[in-house]
């Protein structure tokens, strides 16, 4: 339970805690102490990384993730235009083959704003809760959310502009996301209106894809411009209440990204590509307090770190059956 509590504390914006090395288990202390004696292995890793940088290949998991994300969102569009009633509605609220589904953050906003709960909303909320608990809460962000996809493309442009000195990467306090979550909860209660839903880039893009573009896309464009020129992935990192809600769902999920200390030589490739690099603090040299560690609740399971790791220190794990890879 202490691991879950720490994971939630970091999700809410706290800095990852460092465990004193004297409190590490003896086998972990020995691993940290002696693992860098294999100079040939370290040099081989460096050679591999240089070759990889010179001959960049498409990221396996990123391509799969983009394909799934596109397929899910296009299924809404196809169902609407062909009127086949397979997947109706939008990401905020929908029906799959007649069965109700409701985005957890949107459902919370509706319940608080209207102070009334209908049976279909309960069914939809429970269904989605179970689904994303099984898949890992913030998996929604990287595998389904349409804003995540366009923000990822914007991030690619941002990194190129930063290299040229044409853009900055200002970082903000991660606790801002928690405060914004609370602000939108209070606004829903006080105003009786789902305020967040009017400005949610996830909902705006989902509805625009299905029903056609609207003026709200201007807000999404402004967010992307801010991320391109001023702060890398700012909305997802510092503001999005949806990510925080699903992070709580995924805190106890059986699906995790799993870290193995014996395999790691701390090259840092994983943190370079991670949307939320604080969840990978355990991979830093001398930080891991256990031989194997589950990455925390704020992890989006985008699996870019799994692709980037040159030594297989990061893998997919489903607790119980074991590693999938």
Render pLDDT for 158-171 as a digit per residue (tens, 0 to 9).
Answer: 999 999 999 999 99
As for how many domains the chain has, the answer is 2
Looking at the fold, whether 15 and 72 belong to one and the same domain comes out as: no
- Are 177 and 243 spatial neighbours (Cβ–Cβ below 8 Å)? yes
Question: How many C-beta atoms surround the C-beta of residue 220 within 10 A?
Answer: 21
Condensed to tens digits (0 to 9), the pLDDT of residues 124-136 reads 999 999 999 999 9
- Domain that residue 179 falls in: 61-248
For residue 29 the two structure tokens come to 């202390």
Residues 6+ apart with CB under 8 A from 270: 280, 283, 304, 305, 308, 309, 313, 314
Looking at the fold, whether 106 and 235 belong to one and the same domain comes out as: yes
Domain boundary among 221, 248, 275: 248
Q: What is the pLDDT of residue 119?
A: 87
Looking at the fold, whether 78 and 154 belong to one and the same domain comes out as: yes
Domain boundary among 248, 277, 301: 248
Looking at the fold, whether 242 and 291 belong to one and the same domain comes out as: no
50 located within any domain: no
Taking 50 as the pLDDT cut, the residues of the chain under it are 322-325
Domain boundary among 200, 228, 248: 248
pTM here?
0.91
Looking at the fold, whether 235 and 264 belong to one and the same domain comes out as: no
Looking at the fold, whether 135 and 84 belong to one and the same domain comes out as: yes
């Amino acid at each position: 339970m202490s691991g879950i509590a720490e994971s939630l504390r970091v999700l809410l914006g706290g800095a990852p805690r460092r465990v004193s090395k004297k409190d590490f288990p003896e086998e972990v202390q020995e691993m940290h102490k002696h693992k860098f004696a294999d100079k040939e292995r370290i040099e081989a890793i460096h050679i591999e990384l240089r070759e990889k940088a010179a001959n960049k290949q498409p990221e396996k998991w990123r391509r799969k993730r983009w394909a799934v994300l596109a397929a899910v969102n296009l299924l809404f569009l196809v169902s609407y235009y062909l009127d086949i009633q397979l997947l109706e509605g939008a990401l905020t609220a929908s029906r799959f083959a007649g069965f109700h589904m409701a985005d957890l953050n949107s459902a919370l906003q509706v319940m608080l704003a209207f102070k009334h709960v209908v049976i279909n909303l309960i069914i939809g909320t429970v269904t989605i809760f179970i689904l994303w608990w099984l898949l890992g809460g913030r998996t929604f962000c990287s595998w389904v959310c349409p804003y995540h996809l366009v923000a990822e493309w914007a991030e690619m442009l941002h990194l190129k502009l930063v290299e040229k000195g044409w853009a900055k990467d200002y970082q903000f306090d991660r606790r801002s996301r928690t405060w914004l979550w609370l602000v939108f909860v209070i606004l829903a209660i006080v105003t009786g209106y789902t305020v967040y839903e009017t400005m949610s880039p996830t909902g705006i893009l989902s509805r625009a894809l299905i029903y056609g573009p609207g003026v709200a896309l201007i807000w999404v464009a402004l967010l992307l411009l801010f991320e391109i020129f001023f702060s890398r992935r700012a909305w997802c990192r510092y503001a999005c209440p949806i990510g925080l809600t699903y992070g709580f769902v995924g805190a106890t999920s059986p699906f995790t990204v799993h870290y193995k200390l014996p395999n790691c030589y701390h090259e840092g490739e994983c943190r370079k590509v991670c949307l939320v690099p604080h969840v990978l603090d355990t991979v830093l040299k001398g930080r891991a307090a256990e031989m194997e560690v589950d990455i925390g609740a704020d992890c989006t399971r985008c699996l870019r770190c799994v692709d980037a790791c040159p030594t297989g220190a990061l893998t997919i794990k489903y607790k119980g059956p074991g590693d999938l890879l």
